[in-house]
Structure 1
Amino acid sequence: MSSFDLCSILTMEDIFSRLLNLTSYINQTFIRFIEDVMFRDVSRWFEDSEVIFCGVGCNERGDSVLEDRPFIDSRLQIVNTSSNYGGVRFIFKGLILPMYFFECAWRLAVESWRCFCIYMRQMQARAKGILFRVLKTLRGSSDDIGWLQRTPGMAPVEDGSVRFQELLQGIRSGQHKLPDSFVYLLIPGLFSNHGPLYFVSTKRFFSKMGLACHIAKIHSEASVEHNAWELKQYIEELYWGSGKRVLLLGHSKGGVDAAAALSIYYRELRNKVAGLALVQSPYGGTPIASDILREGQIADVETRRIMEFLICKLIKGDIRALEDLTYERRKEFIKNHKLPNNIPIISLHSEASVAPGVIATMSHIAHAELPWLPRFGTEDAEDAAKAARRVPVIVPVSAAMALCALHLQLRYGEKSDGLVTCRDAEVPGSVVVKPSRKFDHSWMVYSSWTKDPTEPDSCEMCEALLTMLVELGSKIQK
């Protein structure tokens, strides 16, 4: 063996011995660290429980005393003697691991209990939220219907039903008193753009009497403030074009739009508008719109998405058109915008019949053209063919109104025309008209497929309302 090989072997043995010493030192240091941590916890436990070890600090009579606690420090040293320290270390060395596991188990139990409490609080909050939504859904609009009558400071209403019936009977007997010194503007309501016959028969009825009558061409699915601005422009155009004041008759949301135009732009319209008649208008709001769009109830987000799809995407409207008819929006608007006192206002509301026979009632809302029908050679035959091509569109609108009226009566105990309750249609400070016959919300603008000749139709009722409005205006001027 060469000297180089011998040197290499000695060097390797030296390296292994040093690694072994280093490993032993690290092991002893780690064990000492664990023991010190455990001794510190045990010393704190002894300090809290004030345990006194035997043989530590005795006076002349043999009584154990604890003077300045010299045997307890951060490492549980007892009376500064290595023998006592070794004894304590020997005693508690076997307790380190069990007490360590006990501490881990205790902390795990505490954290588990804390997580359980947090989870229970979350479940309790979620249960309260669900209960609140259920109660709000069941409560519905019970606290909002008729809020105008309960609000202090609102002007009282006057019952004009008797005078209305007198004027209606006179009109049916041929006494037409509407003067041609006014321009009559009919304002349609929500979704009127999708019913081509909306107010058409009434306009034709007034035109045959030689009266200037117009149907406001507004976007029925727009917001109330937007339509108020459109009506303001429309009224000024009619006034400056004819030199006559304008009488307004609004049905459903059209009455709300017209009232908003007078409330917001009264300074510009006070000398141009002679009066306003609101026919079945939700001036105070409607429970149908509120129940659909109320926040905080069950499935409120899903319901709103469906309505946004139907109104905004399908018919290209504005969701605010329906939002503005809720009780919350109407309260805010009426609080900020008051109707003028010196303009005659009439508000008409009706009650829909919920009899079983009404469920089968159909309404005529439009005409459908059928261009594929054959033509004939003569002019009379061609006219007859053109007339034959107009097929009436019949929709069970009255049946839907009857079902809605039954729903409002059973849920809230309120009389309504199917969409608007009677109390919400009464405008403060107006003359209220309550017809004797029952008809639904769509009857005033869409003729029924089956007519009763002994009863007045919607055109005659509109004429009676406007005639009564002219009389009120004359009284105010006098």
Structure 2
Amino acid sequence: MANNNVSAICSCCSEMDGIFSRLLILTSSITRRLIEFFEDILLRDVNRLLRDSEINSYGQSQTSATYASSSRDCNSDTSIAFLDRNASDLDDHHSLTNSGLEIVNRNYHRGVRFIFKGLMLPLYCFEFAWGSVIASWRCSCYHMRCMQANMQSFVSRIVKTLHGSSDDIGWLQSAPGMAPVEDGSARFVELLQGIRNGLHKLPDSFVYLLIPGLFSNLGPLYFVSTKRFFSKMGLACHIAKIHSEASVEQNAWELKQYIEELYWGSGKRVMLLGHSKGGVDAAAALSIYSEELRDKVAGLALVQSPYGGTPIASDILREGQVADKETRRIMEFLICKLIKGDIRALEDLTYEKRKEFVGAHKLPENIPIISFHSEASVAPGVIATLSHIAHAELPWLPQFPGEDRENDDFALAARKVPVVFPVSAAMALSALHLQLRYGEKSDGLVTCRDAEVPGSIVVKPERKLDHSWMVYSSWKKDPEDSSEVDACEMCEALLTMLVELGEERSN
């Protein structure tokens, strides 16, 4: 509405400017015609007077010459000389007359121009004043348009900030050409129950590679318990030594090298389990280097991975919102300066980057894929705890005589040191924020819909687990609580499902 008013004012101003300009042109033209008219009249009168005076003077000189020739008949040469002198005098008279006429005309023109310039001075002043008014009005209109543009830009930034990622969450489900997912939660529960009862079916014919997620270099306990759990069962398990704060493409290249090294070193295919950004990195490696890794990878499990993106990263780095440049500078300082990482590690998890990447790189169809996602609890008790309990084992402690480190529970408990991570409350608050703002269920960082990879088997546990639960095992378990599940057992159940899916597809 404001834009239409400014446009109407500017158009009205332009029309008034055109009308007054035409009036000034018309007035100037009429004045010029009047000046020329008066000049022609005066010049005609002056020329007539000068011509009459010239004729009279010429007649008198001719009469005198005739009288002199009739009285002087005795000397013809003298008469001829007298006539020549009279002719030259006549020429001089004509030249004097012409010069006088030019002087009169020049003085006349100067006088007339001076008079009419004096008459035109008020008109020139009016024209200058009107031009100044128009220039001032145009300047004020320009400033008004600038203020309006700034206001519209500010309002647009506020609207974009408030709107957030409402149109992007779950875009994988509505994108054309995406394969549907299949629910495998029931089979996962069966396998998990069997594992808790001592039924371990995970074969040793594969190499198991655990891929950590973003900021995993800051957590020394990341996947440590899971690796030790698999190693105790005699399985070849490794944690990928990658820079978790690097870009997705960089980590995809490093994982490709790591997988080929494990494959050629052991002669066994590799099972991949990636948590958070680690799952995105692993999927990128399979997508970009599908030809090289086709026969070397047996399956991929994405655990709480933002394959479609995450609203947390998008809301932080979205361009065009309020304080977008300031927020980006803060994140660049935290990631690039303090952690020595790459800002693209966070950028690659935004919806814009994920749409671009998924559209350009497709996952291979011959590799079984499982998508695991959970929902964090937002109960007041979880928010009030402000901690996540984990443990760190200290294998460098001296061994006492007669101590069996593998079977002595007391010795194992003595080497476990509790570690407090203040992330449970943060995950609960973040999950509550996403639920109130977007109405989406999440584990605190990744929404459930964004964690589902098209064409994969989806596993949704009944228990409420936050984003960090799957990579840290509980420090103390209640043996009477049958619902207490260890993260290591859940990882084993996921990998067992991958093995079954691979066998079904090969048959």
Scaled to the shorter chain, the TM-score interval is 0.7 to 0.9
User: What does residue 39 of structure 2 align with?
Assistant: 77
Q: Please say if 1:401 is aligned against 2:427.
A: yes
Structure 1 segments of 4+ aligned residues over 6 angstroms from their partners: 82-91, 378-381, 383-390
Q: Residues of 2 paired with 1:235 and 1:170: CA distance?
A: 30
Give yes or no for contact 1:262–1:339 (8 Å, CA) kept in 2.
yes
- Note the 1:8-407 alignment, pairs <5 A: 45-46=26-27, 50=30, 71-73=34-36, 77=39, 79-81=41-43, 95-361=119-385, 362-364=387-389, 367=392, 391-407=417-433
Give yes or no for contact 2:211–2:240 (8 Å, CA) kept in 1.
yes
User: What does residue 434 of structure 1 align with?
Assistant: 460
Give yes or no for contact 1:164–1:433 (8 Å, CA) kept in 2.
yes
- Tell me the CA shift for residue 90 of structure 1: 8.0
SS at match of 1:177: coil
Evaluate the alpha carbon distance shift between residue 85 and residue 42 of structure 1 in structure 2; reply closer, same or farther with a 3 A threshold: farther
Amino acid at match of 2:388: S
Q: Deviations over 1:420-460 (max 9, x none)?
A: 00000000000000111111000001234564542211111
Instruction: Indicate which of 419, 426, 434 corresponds to 2:445.
Output: 419
Give yes or no for contact 1:78–1:85 (8 Å, CA) kept in 2.
no
Q: Residues of 1 paired with 2:231 and 2:114: CA distance?
A: 116
Q: How many residues align?
A: 414
- Gapped regions of structure 2 (runs ≥ 5): 1-21, 47-107
Instruction: Indicate which of 495, 500, 503 corresponds to 1:466.
Output: 495
Amino acid at match of 1:405: A
Amino acid at match of 1:360: A
Give yes or no for contact 2:210–2:223 (8 Å, CA) kept in 1.
yes
Give yes or no for contact 1:252–1:279 (8 Å, CA) kept in 2.
yes
Give yes or no for contact 1:247–1:273 (8 Å, CA) kept in 2.
yes
Amino acid at match of 1:300: D
SS at match of 2:371: strand
- Tell me the CA shift for residue 87 of structure 1: 9.2
Evaluate the alpha carbon distance shift between residue 78 and residue 122 of structure 1 in structure 2; reply closer, same or farther with a 3 A threshold: farther
Q: Deviations over 1:346-390 (max 9, x none)?
A: 001111110001113422467599x9xxx99x8799x99999797
- Tell me the CA shift for residue 93 of structure 1: 6.0
SS at match of 2:270: strand
- Tell me the CA shift for residue 94 of structure 1: 5.2
Give yes or no for contact 1:195–1:365 (8 Å, CA) kept in 2.
no
Q: Deviations over 1:244-279 (max 9, x none)?
A: 111100000000011011111111111111100000
Amino acid at match of 1:199: F
- Tell me the CA shift for residue 140 of structure 1: 0.7
Evaluate the alpha carbon distance shift between residue 187 and residue 338 of structure 1 in structure 2; reply closer, same or farther with a 3 A threshold: same
User: What does residue 477 of structure 1 align with?
Assistant: 506
- Gapped regions of structure 1 (runs ≥ 5): 1-40, 53-68
SS at match of 1:419: coil
SS at match of 1:404: helix
Amino acid at match of 2:357: F
**Structure with greater helix percent:** 2
Amino acid at match of 1:403: L
Evaluate the alpha carbon distance shift between residue 117 and residue 412 of structure 1 in structure 2; reply closer, same or farther with a 3 A threshold: same
SS at match of 2:471: coil
Q: Residues of 2 paired with 1:88 and 1:458: CA distance?
A: 107
SS at match of 1:309: helix
What is the TM-score with the length of structure 1 in the denominator?
A: 0.80
Amino acid at match of 2:372: L
Evaluate the alpha carbon distance shift between residue 410 and residue 388 of structure 1 in structure 2; reply closer, same or farther with a 3 A threshold: same
What is the TM-score with the length of structure 2 in the denominator?
A: 0.75
SS at match of 1:353: coil
- Tell me the CA shift for residue 47 of structure 1: 5.4
Q: Residues of 2 paired with 1:97 and 1:231: CA distance?
A: 86
- Tell me the CA shift for residue 78 of structure 1: 5.8
Evaluate the alpha carbon distance shift between residue 290 and residue 174 of structure 1 in structure 2; reply closer, same or farther with a 3 A threshold: same
- Tell me the CA shift for residue 77 of structure 1: 3.5
- Tell me the CA shift for residue 117 of structure 1: 1.3
Evaluate the alpha carbon distance shift between residue 89 and residue 258 of structure 1 in structure 2; reply closer, same or farther with a 3 A threshold: closer
> What RMSD over aligned residues (CA atoms) do the two structures have, in Å?
3.2
Q: Residues of 2 paired with 1:257 and 1:182: CA distance?
A: 20
Give yes or no for contact 1:363–1:447 (8 Å, CA) kept in 2.
no
Q: Residues of 1 paired with 2:489 and 2:25: CA distance?
A: 98
Q: Residues of 1 paired with 2:307 and 2:365: CA distance?
A: 16
User: What does residue 410 of structure 1 align with?
Assistant: 436
Q: Deviations over 1:118-152 (max 9, x none)?
A: 11111121112111111111111111101100011
